[in-house]
Amino acid sequence: MTLDPRASLDVDPLLDDPSTRIVVCCGSGGVGKTTTAAALGLRAAERGRKVVVLTIDPARRLAQSMGIDSLDNTPRRVKDIDNGSGGELHAMMLDMKRTFDEIVEAHADEERAKAILSNPFYQSLSAGFAGTQEYMAMEKLGQLRSRDEWDLIVVDTPPSRSALDFLDAPTRLGSFLDGKLIRLLMAPAKVGGRAGMKFLNVGMSMMTGTLGKLLGGQLLRDVQTFVAAMDTTFGGFRTRADATYKLLQAPGTAFLVVAAPERDALREAAYFVERLAAEKMPLAGLVLNRVHGSGAGRLSAERALAAAENLDECRIVDQTGGKEEGRATPEALPEASSEAPIEASPETSGSDSTAGSDSTAGSDPTAEPSIEQLTAGLLRLHAERMQVVAREQRTRDRFTALHPEVAVTEVAALPGDVHDLAGLRDIGERLAAGGTPAGA
């Protein structure tokens, strides 16, 4: 037996280390980030940490699995965990618009905040502007960390088109706020008084006329009103984004890249690993989720298929022999009466040996399958499983060849979804024990 060259990711020391304050689960969509984040949070809490899990998954699976009716922008304590070690578990789901509203309310006076919150352009921006969800996830992370109420924050990053969107969002929103259009729209408010009105009427007449035709005059006025009202808070957005970005680079943060053992997911994981290294953000390792294995790994797919074919051939030969034995010969005919039917022998009564028929035993849908048929079917299923295992191994090996420094833990594929704390606890145990390759 050869030793696995991959570094193993030991999850428990990471969760137990009091200097670990933030764990960020990231990766492409559909690889199990939400379940992984919840399982890590539960395991850390039951090992004595005071944990809050921040999810951005709108499917509400986290609330269901933790036994909470619903999650919102306020952390809610999870009951029925094993808190014998003194730990606590809280969970929340990001409300993007509510987080945006909280920022406005915190950084603008009451009158200006009211004007911003009622502005139609702001309502559209806060509800669906590209990158807003990712940016608000960073904002909420910064808020939770500043409160210092929890000693571990586990973040489930947004289900983005690309895993890189989470890191790009602050820069993208900052670019929007610093863009030429925004600065131009903001200029009249900054000049102020009659000079500002003169600038607006003369310097912007051409631009507003053109944009008014493209966007509509009311929309343009909404944008200008929004920009004027938000002027005092724009700097705060950029400042907090920079602070949160530095927080993600700090030693107390650990990134876990979650991926399935599939080509596209691991390619995205490789991109993220490289990006984290380029941004000098601390990578703890890779969680390889839904890995297939087999308890009969010594039986290869090729041998299983060959055995199944041999069983099929033997069954066909046996059936042919049975037909020959059950066929009446000329010597036997004189002893049989022409009126009496020929009784089938016990050896042939259970087979489809009707004269003139070449059908096999499987042609009758009501017939019980033979042991040989069942065995051949199981061998083919095993062969398919071993082909999946081999394909996953090749994909995994390509990743580790490119990034041998990345520690890996594996979680075996489960027959169903996780619906409760017991399921999350099971996932946590698999994460902790997953440094050993599946099927080993």
Residue 336 pLDDT? 41
In whole angstroms, give the CA distance from residue 168 to residue 278: 13
Cβ 361 vs Cβ 351: under 8 Å: yes
The token pair that represents 41 in the structure block: 């949070």
DSSP-assigned letters across all residues of 3-16: PP-SPBP-HHHHHH
Q: 251-269, pLDDT tens digit by residue?
A: 999 999 999 999 888 988 8
Q: How many Cβ atoms from other residues are within 10 Å of residue 217's Cβ?
A: 12
Cβ 62 vs Cβ 47: under 8 Å: no
**Exposure of 351 by Cβ count < 10 A (0-12 exposed, 13-18 middle, 19+ buried)?**
middle
Highest average pLDDT, of 65-74, 95-104, 311-320, comes from 95-104
Highest average pLDDT, of 74-78, 204-208, 320-324, comes from 74-78
- pLDDT tier at 19 (50, 70, 90 boundaries)? very high
The token pair that represents 10 in the structure block: 């030991």
- pLDDT tier at 32 (50, 70, 90 boundaries)? confident
Residue 348 pLDDT? 40
206 vs 2: which has the higher pLDDT? 206
Of the given ranges (71-85, 131-145, 157-171, 195-209), which has the lowest mean pLDDT?
A: 195-209
pLDDT at 427 over 70: yes
3-class SS letters over 30-84:
CCCHHHHHHHHHHHHHHCCCEEEEEECCCCCHHHHHCCCCCCCCCCEECCCCCCC
pLDDT at 354 over 50: no
> What is the rounded average pLDDT of the residues 203-224?
52
β-bridge mates for residue 285, sequence order: 256
Of the given ranges (61-70, 160-169, 198-207, 240-249), which has the lowest mean pLDDT?
A: 198-207
**Phi, psi (5° rounding) for residue 273?**
-60, -45
In whole angstroms, give the CA distance from residue 229 to residue 156: 33
Cβ 141 vs Cβ 22: under 8 Å: yes
